[in-house]
Chains A and B, each alone.
Chain A
Amino acid sequence: MPAITFIHPDGKSDRVETSGGESAMQAATRLGLDGILAECGGNAMCATCHVYVDESWVARLPAVADDEDALLDGTAAERLPNSRLSCQIHITPELDGLVLRLPERQV
């Protein structure tokens, strides 16, 4: 199964083995990772699973959809060009090794 890495604001990192077809948010919440709140449970409605995608991976992710784009304008931490909602990143084998940085805050 593909594994992804979350890097916390303090520099510590967590490597997470994903399971079949889940989103990066689901992998993080399944393991009780601090830093991903996901208040809406993955319905693309709350913008509390915000992540910064490592620069080397940005172009390899599917494009941001309109609803995700609108939600990213409302994130608690600053929106950057590499901002994404982790509930919208579905982990496929091609994303093995993906690196996501967590923002300072989600609300």
Chain B
Amino acid sequence: MSAPGSAVSGVPHLDVDPFDMTFFADPYPTHERLREAGPVVYLDKWKVYGVARYAEVHAVLNDPATFCSSRGVGLSDFKKETPWRPPSLILEADPPAHTRTRAVLSKVLSPTVMKQVRDRFAAAAEERVDALIDKRSFDAITDLAEAYPLSIFPDALGLKAEGREHLIPYASVVFNAFGPPNQLRQEAIERSMPHQAYVAEQCQRDNLAPGGFGACIHAQVDEGAITAAEAPLLVRSLLSAGLDTTVNGIGAAVYCLARFPDQWQRLRNDLSLGRGAFEEAVRFESPVQTFFRTTTREVELSGAHIGEGEKVLMFLAAANRDPRRWDSPDSYDITRRTSGHVGFGSGIHMCVGQLVARLEGEVMLTALARRIAKIEITGEPKRRFNNTLRGLDSLPVTITPA
């Protein structure tokens, strides 16, 4: 017998902590170290396996029978520890249970539904640009990356006007909680009670406006697709993962376009590149940096032997810049063919809200590029630290209208 990941199995041990503040400040050198150490590594600090190359991240994501989600997609193993909240019926579930709930959310957020909300989302993006042009100088995170999704997504869900200030803090708790029991996670959970209470209340059928995504989920109860007890938890998934992720996605795109003026100019010259500019920002910045899986059996992965019940940490962000898969991975190129990136994951758990995210990103970037000639960063960007999400807290900019 050998210890998990011991040298016997040929898996390199690394002493890095990928949930540490210094790592968050500049993860790229460590991502490279993780990728170059081997296809599978072992992180002694948290006693987990790690994969940072594209091929292995993609393989783990696409073998849900071996690398399961029902034992939690954070460090905590639900078989050994009580989850901090009732588990998600979709994110933290395996087939066949997952197949049924996933089908419901896929239907509620389908391409057909996106066609119906598109004009509304685009009009709100134009209104946001109006407001920004009035201001000239503003914070691109609070006044743009947060303000835009907040102006459409809660309404699209059908939420009441009161209490929406809980949404971003709640999502922040959810994504911090996937991390290890560090200060970020502990403090987030300690302060989460009012946010949890708000979310639990809003997920009830009576609190969701007719025609919204939330009401559409509850309507699936009448179709017999899900039970009345399941519906609120599926609404909770949209409240957990539908807002902060797009805030960080749009924030990433604006940060990229402000840093790389040549790409901004290309977008200005061809507005049809707006959707690609957003997608490439999701690859380049990877707003969702990591997720875990748990092995359901002993498995051999690229020559590494992994036992049953082991946590495997997938570095989505490192895979999205793996030179084995991408040409010039560290360049932000809005014409890149991004198909296959894992910024939204891959396989059966791939982001169910990806179409909402792309729609928001596309219409917002297109509206900005149509009417703004220049975006200049005028102050030091501040990072927002989270165990799973990568994004900024503040990005002071000044714009020049076209």
Binding site for B on A (CB under 8 A): 29, 32, 37-43, 45-47, 67, 70-71, 73-75, 107
Chain B residue numbers with a CB within 8 Å of A71 are 110-111
Please state if A107 and B110 are interface contacts (CB–CB under 8 Å).
no
Bound CA–CA A33/B193 (angstroms): 51
Bound CA–CA A67/B337 (angstroms): 25
Q: Flag whether B115 is at the interface (Cβ < 8 A).
A: yes
**Which listed residue (B103, B111, B115, B340) contacts A46, Cβ 8 A?**
B111
**Which listed residue (A38, A43, A73) contacts B111, Cβ 8 A?**
A73
Bound CA–CA A67/B100 (angstroms): 12
**Which listed residue (A37, A39, A43, A74) contacts B112, Cβ 8 A?**
A74
Distance between B213 CB and nearest chain A CB, rounded to angstroms: 15
Please state if A40 and B350 are interface contacts (CB–CB under 8 Å).
yes
Interface residue tally for chain B (C-beta within 8 Å): 26
Tell me the total A-B contact number using a CB cutoff of 8 A.
Answer: 54
Q: Flag whether B333 is at the interface (Cβ < 8 A).
A: no
Bound CA–CA A91/B354 (angstroms): 27
Secondary structure call for the A interface: loop
Please state if A46 and B354 are interface contacts (CB–CB under 8 Å).
yes
By Cβ-Cβ distance, the 3 closest A-B pairs, closest first, are A74-B111, A74-B112, A38-B339
Please state if A107 and B275 are interface contacts (CB–CB under 8 Å).
yes
User: Please, what's the 1-or-0 string for B73-113, where 1 marks a CB less than 8 Å from any CB in chain A?
Assistant: 00000000000000000000000000000010011001111
Chain A residue numbers with a CB within 8 Å of B146 are none
**Which listed residue (B110, B279, B362) contacts A74, Cβ 8 A?**
B110
Q: Flag whether B358 is at the interface (Cβ < 8 A).
A: yes
Bound CA–CA A46/B340 (angstroms): 13
**Which listed residue (B112, B114, B340, B348) contacts A41, Cβ 8 A?**
B340
Please state if A73 and B112 are interface contacts (CB–CB under 8 Å).
yes
Bound CA–CA A46/B275 (angstroms): 13
Chain B residue numbers with a CB within 8 Å of A107 are 275, 362
Chain B positions 342-372 with a Cβ under 8 Å from a chain A Cβ: 344, 346-348, 350, 352, 354-355, 358, 362
